[in-house]
Structure 1
């Protein structure tokens, strides 16, 4: 897949401000942040102002303006789920070459997206499930290997959080609002 060809305009603008525009994490963060810039939904990334400022400075140091960045994270009654999923992802991150703060930011962005009521790839602003798979395979390959039944990523991640904490498996907080909740959780659709 030619990643540059699939980048939206806002992501391309960020890539143009990067020191290393071909770096996999730079491209991934350009896509994740770029998907939220145009819609004014940066809060949906789950990052606070200082985290987002630092992330942009690390990957896109030539970005001229940072106006409109959120000052605080989006509030949710489900932040305990986000914290648990973020910790699970960070524990499985194998990309030692990345900046430790990048691992935290990526895990936060993925976990916060699980609060949204759609497929994870849409909630992340990506083009499809394969985009999520590529990010997860790069950072969390051992976790990806455990998805032996090919579950949708949001369902799988919620399942892993529940199992890690000895709880009954339930959906992610955003699952009930998804159009395919009956597919993923057929017993709950009755």
Structure 2
């Protein structure tokens, strides 16, 4: 799908639409999900969130109950990951994140965040950009809120995609490797100098 020519404006318009339909537009979770959904809606690729239609509808109902039914089109369907390496990565990372989900947050919200992060790791940019956030600190705050034990383990302050890929490798007992989207990133040689 082609992206709108004025992408930041399209994303911001979707974000405002979502927040206008929020139960509490100042709630941190509503603001986060508005940003995450708007980043994909503004590009016309909601399926890349990695949420099923049921998850997406439930997310909108929980955080944006006053949203007009046609304001944000539902994703066509969850994307099918034809590459088994990508599918395994997404499943493993989602499970790893959910093991560390904070019990103070809704499990359904943590599951949505886990799916969105895991699918974003398939894309070739810094995680914060792939998520539509405004920087690494926003990713750190999101992970600290939803998965605090995992976030606290990043004591070396690695870039988040690299850290998450290392967590998967440690969990599986295999040598560390880049996340699937890393090789396409402009900083791949910086993060993985031996891979060049």
Q: TM over 0.5, yes or no?
A: yes
Aligned partner of 2:146 in structure 1 is: 139
Aligned residue for 1:91? 99
2:76 paired with 1:71 = yes
> 1:3: which partner in 2?
none
1:175 corresponds in structure 2 to: 182
Following the alignment from structure 2 to structure 1, what is the Cα–Cα distance between the partners of residues 125 and 136? Answer: 12
Tell me which residue corresponds to 1:4: none
The answer for the alignment partner of 1:106 in structure 2 is: 113
The alpha carbon displacement at 1:9 in A equals 2.7
Q: 2:88 aligns with which of 72, 76, 80?
A: 80
Matched residue of 2:112: which SS? helix
1:15 aligns with 2:23: no
In the alignment, does 2:33 pair up with 1:29? yes
Paired position in structure 1 for 2:57: 53
Does the 8 Å contact 2:101/2:107 carry over to 1?
no
The alignment of Structure 1 onto Structure 2 pairs a total of residues equal to 182
Give secondary structure in 2 for the equivalent of 1:8: helix
- State whether residues 48 and 71 of structure 1, in contact with CA within 8 Å, keep that contact through their aligned partners in structure 2: no
Deviates more, 1:59-68 or 1:110-119: 59-68
**Contact kept? 2:45, 2:75, Cα under 8 Å:** no
Deviations 1:9-30 (A, max 9, x none): 3212211101122221111101
CA distance in 2: counterparts of 1:61 and 1:137, whole angstroms: 26
Root-mean-square deviation (CA), in Å?
A: 1.4
Please give the TM-score of this superposition, normalised by the length of structure 2. Answer: 0.88
- When the two structures are superposed, what TM-score results if normalisation uses the length of structure 1? 0.91
Map of 2:3 onto structure 1: none
Cα deviation, residue 65, structure 1: 2.7
2:8 equivalent in structure 1: none
Distance 2:45 2:191 in 1: 27
Q: Is the 8 A contact 2:101 2:146 kept in 1?
A: yes
User: Unmatched 5+ residue regions in structure 2?
Assistant: 1-10
